[in-house]
Amino acid sequence: MNARLRLAATGLLGWLLCAPFTAHSEVTIGSKNFTENHLLAEIMAIMLERQGISVQRRFGLGGTKICFDALRNGEIDVYPEYSGTIATAIVKSGNVETLAADLEPLGLATYSPLGFNNTYVLAMRQTTATQRNITRISQLAGEQGLTLAFSHEFRARNDGWPQLSAHYGLTLPTSGIEHALAYEAIAAGRVDITDAYSTDGELSRYPVTLLEDDLSFFPRYDALWLARTDLDPAIAAVLQQLSGKIDEATMQALNARAALAGESIPSVAADFVASTFGSSPTVRSAAWPAWVDALLANTWRHIQLTLAGLLLAALVGVALALAVQPFPAAARLVLSVCGLAQTIPSIALLALMIPLFGIGIVPAVIALFVYALLPIVRATLTATNAIDPVHLTVAAALGMNNAERRQHVLVPLSMPHIIAGLRTAAVISIGTATLAAFIGAGGLGQPIWTGLALNDTQLILQGAIPAAVLAVLTDLGFDLLERRLVPAHLRRDQLN
């Protein structure tokens, strides 16, 4: 690689990393990755924008932990939360009465309950419930042959299945399922019982029986806002306007419109705000369909994330491999460490990044970098180890120093394999980058995961199709790169 190319690569990398930070806003609103939380966050955003406050939306973050960490780090300013979740999953007191005191040491506070309680319920397939004559959770004791599938969060939470099953003395086996898919699974007869939120729009559309919590296990889950104690009073005042404005029936209706009738969340939210507080003058011009803008923005962000992670991994990976290449023990160590990093599940790696780098594009790029490293390092080491020893002898006999040996022998002779490693890393990165949406970095994962949460196939395809196209184009791009960097007789298809 010549100096000019290297300079250009460095510049590109810097620009890719810095570009997203040029936009600043007054308040950043987060949300979790399910319909209701999205809707509440969007309603809040519209309310603030009506007051002339500019809003940055970081919606669809992975879950309670990611939202909470992002809030504590100052990556987001406020997000919709539920009192029971704070009590059991965040402060872990289990007591919704002492939330204010328990949150204070964390520098956090709750604001303006919205007026509804979205508690967990167990939803049972209606035909099974009728057959077995079950209406209460306590009746499940002693039942056999039921398929229980719960959301991953519910299976792990203190207010979830472990304590619930102990409370009721239940010993049924369970498996995990994405919440948005659970209703379809029940309708198809694949699942008998799942966890649901009492305000889920689907509850009115799917044939399910809600089992009564007859031994009073679940606490209250009053919807409210979680923010730091230093929240701008102007924003707190807007939150106050929403206080008590949404009851359970209203929320379930709004959820149903978004999740089932296929209306977009912004339009449902805007409708609600307009009908509750009067219509606002802000009307968007729609000469160009909004989804095209979103598609282009998501694709472009996806390319930025993947390219930044890949370039970093290419520079570091090849350099690292060449540095340790002469020392077999060091090479083995580097390979094991890279392999170890690879075994961390991607979503867990992203979650681990938050305390270190916050949310957004930086932790996402770092996670992608970590994943891309192994294929690149392994390809480079394999290739350099496979170089004909005669060429290394010649390099030494010609008096080459280490840098010259790398430049004239190691790198060019390894190039076909390095490119193959980069190609593997790139394809992995395009897939993994969809997870970046969980930590607010956007990209094509945004429509995919939102679509999954909302059971919206069209939205899923708006992410999945461009991602597939990107993968194909990447493959073609690497063909061109190989043509440019490797003489015909040394290309891999010639070697194999």
The site for another protein (CB under 8 A) is made up of: 388, 390-391, 393-394, 396-401, 404, 408-409, 412-413, 415, 486-487, 489-490
Rounded to a whole number of angstroms, the minimum distance from the CB of residue 306 to another protein is 29
Nearer to another protein (CB atom), residue 142 or residue 399: 399
Nearer to another protein (CB atom), residue 415 or residue 452: 415
Nearer to another protein (CB atom), residue 132 or residue 408: 408
Nearer to another protein (CB atom), residue 330 or residue 398: 398
Nearer to another protein (CB atom), residue 91 or residue 322: 322
Rounded to a whole number of angstroms, the minimum distance from the CB of residue 391 to another protein is 6
Nearer to another protein (CB atom), residue 173 or residue 399: 399
Rounded to a whole number of angstroms, the minimum distance from the CB of residue 399 to another protein is 3
Rounded to a whole number of angstroms, the minimum distance from the CB of residue 413 to another protein is 7
Rounded to a whole number of angstroms, the minimum distance from the CB of residue 404 to another protein is 6
Rounded to a whole number of angstroms, the minimum distance from the CB of residue 56 to another protein is 50
Rounded to a whole number of angstroms, the minimum distance from the CB of residue 328 to another protein is 18
Rounded to a whole number of angstroms, the minimum distance from the CB of residue 416 to another protein is 10
User: Can you list the pairs that 124-132 forms with residues at least 24 positions away whose Cβ atoms lie under 8 Å?
Assistant: 124/192, 124/193, 124/208, 124/209, 124/210, 124/211, 125/186, 125/189, 125/191, 125/192, 125/193, 125/207, 125/208, 125/209, 126/207, 126/208, 126/209, 127/189, 127/207, 128/192, 129/209, 129/211, 130/209
Instruction: Please answer whether residues 144 and 55 qualify as being in contact, where contact means their C-beta atoms are separated by less than 8 angstroms.
Output: no
Nearer to another protein (CB atom), residue 3 or residue 397: 397
Nearer to another protein (CB atom), residue 411 or residue 444: 411
